[in-house]
Structure 1
Amino acid sequence: MKRVTVLLILLIGALAWYLSADVGAIKARSDSPTLLSVRDTPAVAAEEAVSARQSKTQYSQAVDPPKQISAQAPITEPEYVPPIAKDRQQDDAYQGDLHDHQAYQRYQQRQHNDFKRAYISAAKDKVALLKTWLARGEREGISPEQLQFARDKIAALEQAKQQLEEQLAQQ
């Protein structure tokens, strides 16, 4: 396993070296005769790669100089700031003793019940939305197959919601 890892690292290193080499030097080498010259030794190739990297960084610095921020620029608020909220999973994490199997089962049951309540709430909203879309589809003349598909979907959501409500009532 260690040998495979070492081989993979060497292959990735060789690929990275090959991709970072100067394209012009590679093309010049491919146009040259097949006889090896002094320039094709590994030491010369390594020196060429280093000089190619240096010339690339010098070129990129010459083309894109760092932007200077003027001291006179006004400070403005960003267009969008994401909301900062606590991670819900940290609050809901089990805080009891993991050796108390019954307490952990109660915790899991509470989580399942919360999930069922969330599904019921979301299903109510989704059914209301689908019913408005269904009415609009009927007004605008959508095909009967698509209307029936929407009706079936609404019925399936209502059935699942009813089953979950019954399960919650039994507990």
Structure 2
Amino acid sequence: MTTGQITALLDHAESARFDDDGAPATLQGAVVGAPAGATPGDGRLSWAPARGQGSFDGAWWPRSWRLTSELPPLIAALSTAGETIRRMSVNGDTWTDIPHWFTALAYPPVKVSWYRTLDPHTVTLSGGNRPRLFLLVIPPQTALETADEVRRMATAGRLIGPAGQILRHAGATSP
């Protein structure tokens, strides 16, 4: 019973920050151009066959933990896949250079929020009338073979369970 109350209080406190965000003020309103050729087929983003059927809707393997560098190719890949993203939530202790807003000429602005209670291996994305996307984040320093295994699991719809457990089972390292 106590655990549920603590979790509810943390969720409520973090929800209250959802409008405040707490993102570093130095990056507010940064305009970043999306690079050409960032598509889901570049091997960095893999989708589950059906959204909402497992723990995750896909897996993302960023090249670094610098969110300002990683957002352009991710948003471009999601847009190419037909997803319009307007909000993103990340773990604030895992990522660096977290912008308050991501804006690029070709895409709608994305409000970026960070939370300490969000799993460090998880990114949530939302936009429009569609359900939220939950992506498993493969640590950037993960070996290619291991990242490929996690991406195969994503495309087979086998990303079920806690993020840390999935990554440990595949042999991926933690941040």
TM class by shorter-chain length? under 0.3
Q: Which has the larger radius of gyration?
A: 1
* TM-score, length of structure 2 as denominator length: 0.19
Which structure carries more helix by proportion? 1
Length-normalised TM-score, structure 1: 0.19
Higher strand share: 2
